[in-house]
Amino acid sequence: MLITLAIVSLLAFYVAFNLGANDVANAMGTSVGSKAVTLKQALIIAGVLEFAGAVLFGHEVTETLATKVANPALFAAIPQTLVIGMMTVLLASGLWLQIATSRGLPVSSSHAVVGAIAGFSWVALGIDAIDWSSIGLITIGWILTPLISGAIAALFYSQIKHWILEQPNQVAQLQEWIPWLSVSLLGVFGVIVLPSLTQPLTNFFINEVGLTIPSHDIPLFTGAVAAIGLTLYSWKQLFSSPIPNPQSPVPSPIESVFARFQLLSACFVAFAHGSNDVGNAIAPLAAIVYINRTGNVPINGITIPIWILILGGIGIVGGLAIWGKKVIATIGENIISLQPSSGFCAELATATTILLASRLGLPVSTSHALVGGVVGIGLVQNIKSIKFSTLQNIAAAWLITVPLSAALSAAIFSIARIFFL
């Protein structure tokens, strides 16, 4: 049992490592490409926030993936089959993420994990074990996500370009727009991040104090205070340093202000990403630990031990620090040239798209949304500025993620069950 647990823990770390190297570009790629932050700063910021999000709020997504993606009832009589299957999921998805990262291609870890689960389930229990409706939703999400994100980014950037960047008195125009930019930023990201942050406080008031507080009140109040604070801070920075610094990587005073907005948006994305996608790496491990401890397949939910969350967080940070710059360069530099204003619009469009998809229950990819947002910016700037050769490689990687990870998982499971089942 200890040997099995050690092997599975190493596999989960392997997936988390490759997930950090690939998916964290979603948070920091555009910020590095626009020079809002340096690569070293991005690695430090994203590392801290990804780890915090994974450890503090990664349990809910992990529990869902461990108990609801693969139908656990089908494996109730054969728990050891599920153990071997989850091990193949880790190995197959980790291998594909490593291959994609080595080529600098941003792919979806969620799609890789779902594909791997489908692959081993097919071999283990037949074609009927696959939830084809989920596969269909993934396909819809793959098609719609970049299109919606690109449209939102193009619309938002075209307004900023018209009302601020192309005006003769940019400083005065930006002064009028800062409150609206603040509200947009904190409104979109607040809906994604703040409910998770404030849920423990809400539960405390309900369970310990006896006060009934609607779940949306605290996030809305916090978002309003944060928006006001960001507005005042941005005004102060705008008027205290209106003269360009030739030594700065962002010498324009207007772009310097946008760089501050973009840095904050990137921080929100990093935290949310850590709390969400860590489940892709550690959910199989959590399920296996539960089976080894109880002898039963998890059906109605499980408690995630803190050491599993920490393992996932360390893996994400390690992969980001050692190998993350390859995909960061692809998103931030190899599609179009970005400024903080355009990078901020791309990140805001990404968050809006993910939020809309979540409300509709569509499983989508942050990678897809961010690439679509960057392309939308390029269409507004100049279509000739888009490097379509890079996009072709990215689209090919997206297209084959689910079937390739499924095939890898099926092949590995077919070999593994000969020796272990």
Stretch 338-350: mean pLDDT: 87
The 10s digit of each residue's pLDDT in 275-310 is: 667 777 888 888 888 888 888 888 776 778 889 988
Among 42-56, 81-95, 346-360, the range of highest mean pLDDT = 81-95
- Residue 379 pLDDT > 70: yes
Cα dihedral 370, 379, 181, 358, rounded to 10, equals -40
403 versus 358: the higher-pLDDT residue is 403
Whether pLDDT at 356 is above 80 = no
As a whole number of angstroms, the distance between CA 93 and CA 70 comes to 15
pLDDT reported for residue 349: 87
Instruction: State the pLDDT at residue 230.
Output: 58
Of 59-68, 70-79, 385-394, least confident by mean pLDDT is 59-68
Q: d(Cα 278, Cα 237) in Å, to the nearest integer?
A: 36
What's the Cα-to-Cα distance from 277 to each of 15, 26, 65, 145, 390, rounded to whole Å? 11, 12, 10, 17, 25
In this structure, of 36-40, 81-85, 274-278, 406-410, the range with the lowest mean pLDDT score is: 274-278
Check if the beta carbon of residue 138 is closer than 8 Å to that of residue 402. yes
Q: Average the pLDDT over 359-386 and give the result.
A: 82
Q: What is the pLDDT of residue 372?
A: 92
To the nearest whole percent, how much of the chain has pLDDT over 70? 76
C-alpha distance from residue 30 to each of 105, 196, 200 (Å): 15, 25, 32
Cβ-defined contacts of 133-137 (< 8 Å, 24+):
134/69, 134/363, 135/402, 137/361, 137/362, 137/363
Q: Residues of 301-319 as b/e, b for ≥16 C-beta within 10 angstroms? A: ebebbeebbebbbbbbbbb
Mean pLDDT, residues 397-412: 92
Give me Rg for the CA atoms of the chain: 22
State the pLDDT at residue 378: 93
d(C-alpha 343, C-alpha 370), whole Å: 10
Q: Which residues of 194-225 are buried (b: 16+ CB within 10 A; e: fewer)?
A: bebbbeeebeeeeeeeeeeeeeeebbbebbee
- Start-to-end CA distance of the chain, whole Å, equals 15
Give the pLDDT of residue 251. Answer: 57
Q: What percent of the chain lies above the pLDDT cut of 90?
A: 18
Q: What's the CA dihedral at 178, 156, 353, 378 to 10 degrees?
A: -130
Does the pLDDT of residue 33 top 90, yes or no? Answer: no
Q: Which of 154-158, 234-238, 256-260, 304-308 has the lowest mean pLDDT?
A: 234-238
pLDDT number for residue 219: 46
pLDDT at residue 80 greater than cutoff 70: yes
Question: What span, in angstroms and rounded, lies between the C-alpha atoms of 119 and 401?
Answer: 12
Mean pLDDT in residue range 75-92: 90
Of 140 and 92, which is predicted with more confidence?
92
pTM for this predicted structure: 0.77
| Structure confidence at residue 216 (pLDDT) | 46
Confidence bin at 411 (pLDDT 50/70/90): very high
Q: Which of 227-231, 290-294, 367-371 has the lowest mean pLDDT?
A: 227-231
Segments in 251-324 forming alpha helices (H) = 253-294, 306-323
Give pLDDT, residue 152: 93
Which has the higher per-residue pLDDT, 157 or 272? Answer: 157
Stated as kind and residue range, the H or E segment containing 206 is: none
Average pLDDT, the chain: 78
Residue 234's pLDDT is what?
55
Question: What does the alpha-carbon distance between residue 139 and residue 293 come to, in Å, rounded to a whole number?
Answer: 36
Amino acid at the residue 171? V
